[in-house]
Chains A and B, each alone.
Chain A
Amino acid sequence: MALTAQERLYRGLVSLFVGGVLVAQAATVPFTAVRNDVIANRLYPIVAYDMYREPHDEGERVDASWTLEAVQANGKAIELTCDMLKMSIWDWKRILRFASQGDQANGIIPLKELVRQRAPGAEEYTELRVSSLPIRVTRNGPETIPSKVLITIPLVHKETGTP
């Protein structure tokens, strides 16, 4: 049966949608294959499905999260949690990961800002310490190991300009 002009137009639009989305999704695979994260969420909702992609080995430290401590002038250290800073676990992990790598823009600056705005008694802190979790993976499950301080971030208060 011959198609009407309206049907031909509809089929064309649908074909464009179906073909476009499937080809775009397939086109992410070569980028993933060479470990190129350039797509990330730029073309959202077309994304690379690269969750849980990193291999891990026996004895590796579990970088599930990091410990954040705020140090007062008298040397007393207080642990800050993502709940205390009213952050989701995802942002907490992301910002602390960047901060532990010394990344100013994505880690240290937003972390200092969040602590300044949200941590109880923030004006008393002189520095922040980011430490690794004291856990590693073994054949028999998790095992505790000593924690390591990854970075120390000095805090300068806006009002006084001094620690």
Chain B
Amino acid sequence: MSDAQSGVKVRLWDGPVRIVHWLLVALIGFSWWASDDHLDWHQWSGYTIIALVVFRIFWGFAGAGAARFSSFVRGPRATLGYLKTLGSRAPSTTPGHNPLGALSILVLLLLLMAQLGTGLFAVDVDAYQGGPLSDRVSFELGRQLADIHDLIFHALQAVVGLHVAAVLFYLVWKRTNLISPMITGQRELPGDPGFGRAPWWRLVFGIVLATVIALALSKGLRF
């Protein structure tokens, strides 16, 4: 776990990334629990996740450093190259998501978007409760989307499970603790990647954008 003898402390994950990460953990778990008998809360949890996902995507373009998609999304060659080094016990020193982690982040974001999209239109078996846009679809289609919503959740569970397994693999096999950087934001790396900071007004803009979109969807785009 002392992976850098002559390392420098780097501010790796900014506050917004960490807050989004842990709120997603909490709210995805909560939504799962509330999907049985508390569909009202399930819906409000979903609207909050919409805001988080919208913000995270915005932040992937407007944020700085390791938050940016351009800092971690790699092509197939780089990903395969990284895959070959995976078995080595040398500590991992990628400043941010490694190419494989990047792939799972993209899959996770896509699954979340699909999950939120189907949830907005889904109809419950009693027809009594539905997403805020469910009046735009027939009962049959709404039920079908609810089934797909259920299916995507299983895919989400699988990807989250893989994510946790990967973090544990790095901890045990590579002796690289990826958990504490996601809590403190700090990580020791061999060199400073020279990450900058995004101006504060972009953060404000992203929060407003995410809130407006989530609220508009929660009202079924009826104003």
**Do A and B actually bind?**
no
Interface residues of A (CB under 8 A from B): none
Interface residues of B (CB under 8 A from A): none
